[in-house]
């Protein structure tokens, strides 16, 4: 009997959230990543799903963001998804105001901005991908992202004969830096796939504790 090919899936959590779940499809935040991977690759055995993210900090306009994230992580823990975390912090930086304004001396007016910054997840994703490819954990490797920082490791793996797929979080408008690097395919995440890959509103963890979908995620 012919053996089915295998695939390992690597999810850039912030890219997925910002591109698809934050504003475009906010009703699908309660996303079962293992189910999503299986729907994206129905003819392959999904042997591994790794989710790269960072713990969020409460914000003035959204103090419950970290708590909702922890609930979601508990839901993911009921599956075989591995959660690999980086760090998240706020960075103060002087940036030009928009629209651009000049002061009386002709200099661009700037404002001190406190912006969120995530560190370490792209490096962690690239590292796990390379080591897993070298170890041969699957026949093929799929990356859910739109971050062109991942082009160099993907290019190196493609040149060494590894089968790679980009799962675009930006539809057909994915970063074209991924073109011509040796990917086998570029796939898109459709709305119907997101809809079909949702957790049940109420889950139970391994210890029998209840996990409920955050009420604002409707």
The residue among 65, 34, 28, 13 whose CA lies nearest residue 192 is: 28
| Mean pLDDT, residues 42-61 | 89
Task: Return the pLDDT at 60.
Answer: 62
Q: Using an 8 Å Cβ cutoff, are 53 and 86 in contact? A: yes
d(CA 107, CA 102): 5
Q: Using an 8 Å Cβ cutoff, are 148 and 177 in contact? A: yes
| Mean pLDDT, residues 116-136 | 90
For the cut 60, the answer to whether the pLDDT of residue 42 exceeds it is yes
d(CA 29, CA 13): 11
Task: Return the pLDDT at 63.
Answer: 80
* Residue 218 banded pLDDT, cuts 50, 70, 90: confident
Domain spans in the chain, listed from the N-terminal domain onward: 6-85+120-212, 89-116
Which CATH superfamily, name and number, covers 6-85+120-212? Answer: 5'-nuclease (3.40.50.1010)
């Amino acid at each position: 009997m012919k053996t089915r090919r295998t695939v390992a899936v690597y999810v850039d959590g912030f890219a997925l959230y910002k591109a698809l779940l934050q504003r475009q499809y906010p009703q699908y935040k309660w996303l079962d990543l293992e189910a999503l991977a299986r729907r994206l690759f129905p003819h392959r055995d999904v042997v591994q799903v790794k989710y790269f993210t960072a713990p969020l900090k409460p914000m003035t306009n959204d103090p419950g963001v970290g708590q909702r994230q922890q609930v979601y992580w508990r839901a993911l823990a009921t599956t075989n998804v591995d959660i690999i975390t980086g760090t998240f912090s706020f960075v103060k930086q002087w940036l030009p105001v928009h629209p651009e304004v000049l002061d009386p001396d002709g200099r661009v007016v700037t404002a001190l901005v406190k912006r969120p910054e995530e560190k370490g997840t792209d490096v962690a994703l690239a590292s796990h991908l390379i080591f897993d490819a070298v170890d041969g954990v699957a026949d093929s490797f799929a990356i859910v992202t739109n971050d062109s920082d991942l082009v160099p490791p993907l290019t190196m793996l493609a040149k060494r004969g590894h089968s790679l797929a980009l799962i675009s979080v930006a539809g057909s408008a994915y970063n074209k830096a991924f073109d011509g690097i040796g990917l086998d395919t570029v796939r898109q995440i459709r709305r119907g796939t997101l809809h079909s890959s949702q957790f049940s509103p109420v889950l139970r963890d391994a210890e029998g504790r209840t996990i409920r979908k955050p009420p604002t995620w409707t």
